[in-house]
Amino acid sequence: MIDVTLLGTGGMMPLPGRHLTALLVRHQGHSLLIDCGEGTQVAIRRYGWSMHSIDAILFTHVHGDHVAGISGLLSSMQTEGRLEPVHIYGPQAIEEVVANLCVVVGVQFDVFFHAVDQPFRVNDLEVTPFPVMHTIACYGYRIDLSRRPKFLPEKARELGVPMTSWSRLQAGESVRVGLHLVKPQDVSGPSRRGISLVYATDTRPCKALEEAAWDVDLLVTEGIYADHEKDQGAVDKMHMTAWEAAELAARAGAHQTWLTHYSPSFRNPRDYVDEMARVNPTVTFSDDGRRTTLQFEE
């Protein structure tokens, strides 16, 4: 299972009662954080999470509202006595930008930078970056937790595998039985659906996002405006309105979609709840601190 907490719902600037958009994704005691704007460290504390468990920080792009909190976060990690390394992922520019932002920060743990040109793993999670359409290089991230096929004890017995070797097969190893090699797939049921989520803000609707969000359990994406008078503003600034997100989510067949990254001028997403329920009931406006646990299907 994966715990997901939306640390904030704001875009452009933090407001009283509205932190900047960032997502904390937690699996088996380890976390990854996506984006870190001014005040994200406060939101992490507010919603009861620990900075200590964050192994990786993924940045979508280097606009200030998504990166300016990194110096405070790393500084607080240092104050908390961190020794473990932090891995930072993002567009090519991320290393230089973070180095600049952290001019006032001295940390004693290692910070490793990775430009996101291909899928990578953070512990058990498989992360696939994909480019979206914004004013500068910007990525969305799909996160997958795969699920092993069911182990079939009757098959193992049939093939003569002693019970003491079952755990090796379950862990993905092959086991020799007499002259025969028994492979994990020989004693496994059909493949099973894992858990998947996608995070992408700061983009026009685009094919890459639609494809990444195909059939995902959770899509966390942008609904910068809901007022149709601002439609052209979203186009001009290369953002996505709540209604564009709802259409994209429908095409992608995302199981549920959380809207976030509201413009400071978009004060009351609740005003549009009924309308959204008619347009696409799987899409909902989020509040800061929204949280869920994604679980493997029964």
Give the residue numbers marked as catalytic. 65
CA distance 135 to 143: 24
> Binding to its own copies by residue 76, rule CB under 8 A?
yes
> Binding to its own copies by residue 39, rule CB under 8 A?
yes
- Cβ partners under 8 Å of residue 65, min gap 6: 10, 11, 12, 13, 14, 20, 21, 37, 38
> Binding to its own copies by residue 92, rule CB under 8 A?
no
> Binding to its own copies by residue 72, rule CB under 8 A?
yes
Write down the residue that tokens 């309308």 correspond to.
275
Min CB(101)–its own copies separation in Å: 6
> Binding to its own copies by residue 68, rule CB under 8 A?
yes
Phi, psi of 179, rounded to the nearest 5 degrees: -90, -10
> Binding to its own copies by residue 182, rule CB under 8 A?
no
CA distance 229 to 243: 12
Encode 124-182 in three state secondary structure.
CEEEEEEECECCCCCEEEEEEEEECCCECHHHHHHCCCCHHHHHHHHCCCCEEECCEEE
> Binding to its own copies by residue 295, rule CB under 8 A?
no
- Using CB under 8 A, pick the residue from 25, 57, 67, 138 that binds its own copies: 67
For the CA atoms of the chain, what is the radius of gyration? Answer: 21
> Binding to its own copies by residue 81, rule CB under 8 A?
no
Instruction: Write out the binding residues for its own copies, residues 93-132 only, by CB under 8 A.
Output: 96-97, 100-101, 103-105
CA distance 6 to 293: 12
- Candidates 42-50, 185-193, 226-234, 236-244; binding stretch for its own copies (CB under 8 A): 42-50
Min CB(197)–its own copies separation in Å: 26
Binding mask 184-223 for its own copies (x = CB under 8 A): ----------------------------------------
> Binding to its own copies by residue 71, rule CB under 8 A?
yes
Min CB(67)–its own copies separation in Å: 6
> Binding to its own copies by residue 42, rule CB under 8 A?
yes
> Binding to its own copies by residue 238, rule CB under 8 A?
no
Interacting residues toward its own copies by CB under 8 A: 12-16, 38-39, 41-42, 45-46, 62-65, 67-69, 71-72, 75-76, 79, 96-97, 100-101, 103-105, 264
